[in-house]
Amino acid sequence: MRRVRHASTGGPLFVEETPVPRPGPGELLVRCEAVGVTLPVVRKVTEAAEPVPLGGEIAGEVVAAGEGVIRFRTGERVTGLCFGHGYADFALLHEAMASPIPDDATAVDAVALVRSGLVALGALAAARPEPGEAALITAAASGVGHLAVQLARARGAARVVGAVSDPEKAAFVRSLGADEVIAYGDASWGEPVDYALDAVGGDLLTPALAALAPGGRLVAYSSGGGTIRAYDLLVGAKSVTGFQMARIARGEPELYERWRQELWRLFADGALRPAVHGEFALEDAAEAHAAIESRANLGKVVLRP
């Protein structure tokens, strides 16, 4: 089978031939039909001290199951987060991380919706939104952000503001239901909002915090770092909450499952529309990473083995 690897930090991605892996206890062997590309994995290639497996969201057909698997059988379609080699024709997925794909959804729908949607929904839940409030979503055109815009509206936001790196993304973000779209470098971010979901971090934390109304809540879920001054919190009695999906997946599996079911329900109802920026072959994985690194993507970037 084919598998994408890199041999050095920041080194080029290449495709190699390797034997199909065998599922161990509790594992599923999945024939990958779609693989989601994420910023954390892209950063691993450019920043990790040594080469790491390229994992992430996968979706496809179960072709074999390891000892002890009870929830899935061969022939069923599943999606989930792969911690090993996911940029491949076949990948191993732990049963606990797998969920079924509804009959009316494609594998591309699954990788564009589930993991990114879980992060978006989790960050939104951490903001404790109330109906009628105003929301700010940074990276609003990204794989997670474009779903967060829609979910904020579905959860009752009366006004949704999308923040983007490039003004040319404005039409796309408005098509998702955003009332206003601002660029990161704009001098004014408009009227204050009640809560903000930040996927960028770094220097953007300060303007995102400044955009909050008194008593506003900022949820930071970026791996981009950044610093906030305590004084900026005290003025206006604002708060910041960090959100990490891994903690929910490990510690609150029932909540994790409820969120998954909510995403598929909203998808079936037409209230949540995952967008795909592009579908790339395994041999073009470097181009897929470049789309993420340059923040050129509108929606999810997907590999199609």
pLDDT of residue 29: 98
Task: For residue 235, give both structure tokens.
Answer: 């003025």
pLDDT of residue 246: 83
Residue 187 and residue 210 in one domain: yes
Residue 86 and residue 141 in one domain: no
pLDDT of residue 247: 87
Residue 87 and residue 125 in one domain: no
Q: Which amino acid is at 113?
A: L
pLDDT of residue 11: 80
Cβ density class 148-179: b for 16+ within 10 Å, e for less: bbbbbbbbebebbbbbbbeeebbebbbebbbb
Residue 176 and residue 95 in one domain: no
Q: Which amino acid is at 155?
A: R
Establish if 254 belongs to a structural domain. no
CATH code where residue 31 lies: 3.90.180.10
Q: For the chain (length 305 residues), average pLDDT per consecutive 10?
A: 90 94 97 95 86 94 97 96 96 94 96 95 97 98 97 97 97 98 93 97 94 98 86 93 88 90 95 95 96 93 97
Residue 91 and residue 212 in one domain: no
Q: Burial of 246 by CB count in 10 Å (0-12 exposed, 13-18 middle, 19+ buried)?
A: exposed
pLDDT of residue 249: 82
Rg (CA), the chain: 19
List CB contacts of 186: < 8 A, sequence separation 6 or more: none
Establish if 266 belongs to a structural domain. no
Establish if 92 belongs to a structural domain. yes
Q: Which amino acid is at 188?
A: S
Establish if 165 belongs to a structural domain. yes
Give the Cα separation of 16 and 2 in Å (integer).
6
Give the Cα separation of 258 and 168 in Å (integer).
36
With vertex at residue 16, the alpha carbon angle to CA 15 and CA 22, rounded to the nearest 5 degrees, is 120
Q: How far is CA 4 from CA 52, 108, 277, 292, 305, in A?
A: 11, 19, 20, 17, 10
Residue 56 and residue 147 in one domain: no
Range(s) of the domain holding residue 45: 2-105+275-303
Domains held by the chain: number: 2
pLDDT of residue 250: 80
173 contacts 181 by C-beta, under 8 angstroms: yes
Residue 161 and residue 224 in one domain: yes
pLDDT of residue 46: 87
72: number of Cβ within 10 Å:
18
135 contacts 160 by C-beta, under 8 angstroms: yes
81 bridge partner residues: 57
Reduced to 3 states (helix: H, G, I; strand: E, B; else coil), residue 85 is: coil
pLDDT of residue 222: 86
